[in-house]
Amino acid sequence: MTRRATLTDVAGRAGVSVSTASRALHRPGRVSPATTERVQQAADDLGYVPSAAARQVRSGQSGTIALVVPDLTNPFFMALVRGSTRHLRAHDVVQVVADVEEEPRTEEQVVAALAGRVDGIVLAASRLDRAALTGWGRRIPLVVINRDVADAEVPTVTIGTQGVVAAVEHLAAHGHRHVAYAGGPVTSWSDDRRHRAVVETCARLGVRLTALGHHAPRRDAGPAAADAARRTGATALLAYNDLLAFGALDRLAETGVRVPDELSVVGHDDVFGADLTTPALTTVAVPAEDVGARAAAQLLAVLDGGDLPPSDRHVDLPTRLVVRGSSGAAPR
């Protein structure tokens, strides 16, 4: 096989149900010796190795999985950690969290180190290339958040672009005819998807779009984005994430630019503090905790040998626009 054999594969080869295969491998006294032998032979033929976490979950003990994030100081990823932790705790599974600081090389090293020490890994907003993701997905149970993977066998949880589309529509409805977009990291799949949604929506509505290039998804990168937006003459700035938008608001306040009277600002993620800025930030709300919980549920299902249907293997969660004080009518 070109992928890791699952309990479903073993059951199919032995001609028994998944539950019977599970009992034969983990509680052999509950099925006949002949069935146990047939299931064990199928497992040996396929190279099936029962996951330690799967056994521990079934026995009520605690397994360990890892969640790898690009930046733990970003409130979005903290919310994601809360969601996954809550789900895993309910199943007596322990989670370790690794911060790779937006470095693809560090991410690869961390995954390699974790692969022999945990039962499965959730990669959030991975910066690895698709070949690397596919390779790791065949070596260890893997779930990927906010990233497409060439191997359809690797479960994914992504967030939709409904909120970004609504943001452009909101600005157009308020008279904005020129919008600037401050993108995120050059290796970010989310940024590419988000940018394409902005491009398509602006084209549909007849709104001019200026791309300001890629920025670090941090508050200290926001001032440069604000300065760049002002130089273009745009009347609204769409930021890749809220941290970038926070930094833009800082610079605009510092330079005496009135928001939203002279420039509207829209963020993305609706992280903690987005409603505490001056003015409060209009932003795209993302169900970050739900994202974390869904990814954790996917990984536990894989560890338990489950055959996830497409609707559960590739989940795209909706986003929505939250309008606050940082956006308004275009200046005349």
H helix or E strand, kind and range, residue 253: helix 242-254
State the average pLDDT over residues 143-164: 90
**What band does 261 get if pLDDT is binned at 50, 70 and 90?**
very high
Single out the residue of 298, 304, 330, 314 nearest to residue 53, CA to CA: 304
Residue 55 has pLDDT above 60, yes or no: no
Single out the residue of 169, 142, 163, 151 nearest to residue 317, CA to CA: 163
Single out the residue of 208, 192, 231, 242 nearest to residue 75, CA to CA: 242
What are the structural domains, with CATH classification, of the chain?
Answer: 7-47 (no CATH), 54-159+288-316 (3.40.50.2300), 162-287 (3.40.50.2300)
3-state DSSP call for residue 243? helix
For position 8, what pLDDT does the model report?
86
CA–CA separation, 242 and 247 (whole Å): 9
120 contacts 142 by C-beta, under 8 angstroms: yes
Q: Give every CB contact of residue 90 below 8 A, 6+ residues apart in sequence.
A: none
Rg (CA), the chain: 23
For position 61, what pLDDT does the model report?
39
222 contacts 248 by C-beta, under 8 angstroms: yes
The model's pTM is 0.81
